[in-house]
Each structure stands twice: as structure tokens, then as C-alpha cells.
Structure 1
Amino acid sequence: MTGMFMGEFHHTIDSKGRIIVPAKFRKEMGTSFVITRGMDGCLFGYPLSQWEKLEAQLDKLPLTKKDARSFTRFFYSAATEVEFDKQGRINISAPLISFSKLEKNCVIVGVSDRIEIWDENRWNDFSKEAEDNFEEISEKMTDFDF
């Protein structure tokens, strides 16, 4: 069973697309994991066990629905399995770097069953907006009690 990911870590991505994944996350990810396009302009990283669960859910989507076809096509087409090098880095593909607009400074956050990799500027914009709207967002979440 995969643990829960949480926390925020700041790292840089080099010109070859390599970024260090925090040791705390590497332990839970295993020797390799899947990275793909995420929501809000970030990348999602899933341990293989979690990726398999996600694949099972995506396989249930009806191929007759255009939105389902579009979503699975977009999600799977950029997905790639990455492995850690001896320095604890992964190599992010050019299409994923382009999609997420990763430049030099990046933020890696733990979000329950996955990690997210953000360009620092995008993360700061998202964080500011989320902070400003946190109470309003939480009030709309009718099935959730703190």
C-alpha cells in the first residue's frame, strides 16, 4: 500500500530536464513511477500501484463519449515511466516540460496519492488564488467536515 504524500519542496530543473525528487517522496514512489500531464498546468506523478488503479478507472470510461476519448488520449499520450538516478533525480520529457512551463525554479508538492510538479511562478499564482478563496471553496465542499 502506498503512503500518503504531503508537503511542499522547492527544487530546480536543469537544462537536461532533470529534477531532484525529495527523499521523502522517493521512498514512497519506489524505483520508478509514472509522470503525466496534470490539472491546472502542473504534472502528476503516481507510484506504479496507484497508476494501475487509475488505469482501471480510466478503462471504465465509455469510448462512445467524445469527452472520455479526449481525456484519456490527452492523459495517456504524455504519460511516461521515470526512474531515479543515483542523485535522486528524474528526467522529465520535453513535451511535459513544455506543457507545465517548467523553467528553473520548481515546486514539488505531495497531494494524497500523488505528487505534483509545478513551475514556481504557476505554483505561487495558484497558492495565492487558493488562499484568497479558501473559505469560499471549503463552504462549497458539502461532503467534507474539518
Structure 2
Amino acid sequence: MFLGSHAITMDAKGRMAIPAKIRDALSSLCEGRLVITADTEERCLLVYPEPQWADLLPKIEALPNFNRKARMAQRLLLGYATPLEMDGNGRVLLPPPLRDYAGLEKKLLLVGQGKKLELWSESSWFDCLATASESDDMPDEMLSLSL
């Protein structure tokens, strides 16, 4: 399970080092094999361990492609999906289309989301947090949650 937020940097070639705690979990879970793709709602990237992606892929493919929103989700999730493997130093090379989609520059934030991670540009992450209270109403499922 991936939890917490980790400030990381990306070098000029587009390489980022996965933090040691996450790197160890990914090494044991999927031998460092990942699939990174575009988020459908935010300008960030979703980072899946390969087995999690393999479970999700048939569900994405089964979406009704005559529905415009479902088709757009397929285009983003499948169209940007990129298999990557951590190198011996725990780094991955992010391809330019993924970096461009999420507006990634040097300062990044890797945010745990349970079975996956989100990768944000630092500025986009803080912008998202600043506008979170202005966003949509709380879904009914959240009303029964006690924190």
C-alpha cells in the first residue's frame, strides 16, 4: 500500500529517482516494473505497479466506447500508458509526452493513493490543494465516512 507524499526531483533528461521506501515496495511487488499513464481528471500521472495495471486494463477496455466520457477516458488511460522499469539506482525515465501532459518540470511530488501513486508537478499539486475547497459537492459515499 502506497501512502504519504514524497518531494522528488527530475533531471534534465527526464529521469526521476523513486524514494527508497517506495522503491523497496515496488521491487518486491513487481520487480520494479511500472505502467505510468495520464490521469483522466487532473493534469497529473498515475503510476501503477505492473500487476495492478494488468488487473485494471480489461476494465478500461470494457468501457462503452460509444459514450463520449468513457471513450475519452480510454484515450487518455490507454493512449498514454507507458511500461517502464526502474534501473539499478531506482530511477525511471519519463517520456516527453507524459512530462508534457502533466506539465512536469524539476520539482515533483509523488503521492501515495493506496494501490497506485500519483505524480504531480509541485506547483500543480499546491494549486490543486488550494482549489480543493472550491470544488464540487461531497459525494454521498463520503457523507457516511467518519475520520
Q: TM-score, normalised by structure 1?
A: 0.85
Name the structure with the higher strand share: 1
Aligned equivalents of 1:71, 1:138: Cα separation in 2: 20
| Matches for 1:69-84 after TM superposition, within 5 Å | 69-84=71-86
Letter in 2 for 1:144: L
Give unmatched runs, 5+ long, in structure 1. Answer: none
Aligned CA distance change for structure 1 residues 122 and 56 (closer, same or farther; 3 Å): same
Tell me which residue corresponds to 1:93. Answer: 95
Query: Identity over the aligned pairs, expressed in percent?
Result: 33
Any conservation in 1 of the 2:37–2:76 contact (CA below 8 Å)? no
Tell me which residue corresponds to 2:111. Answer: 109
How far apart are 1:133 and its partner, in Å? 5.8
Aligned equivalents of 1:47, 1:143: Cα separation in 2: 30
| Matches for 1:45-84 after TM superposition, within 5 Å | 45-84=47-86
Tell me which residue corresponds to 2:121. Answer: 119
Tell me which residue corresponds to 1:37. Answer: 38
How far apart are 1:142 and its partner, in Å? 2.6
Aligned equivalents of 2:15, 2:82: Cα separation in 1: 14
Aligned CA distance change for structure 1 residues 110 and 52 (closer, same or farther; 3 Å): same
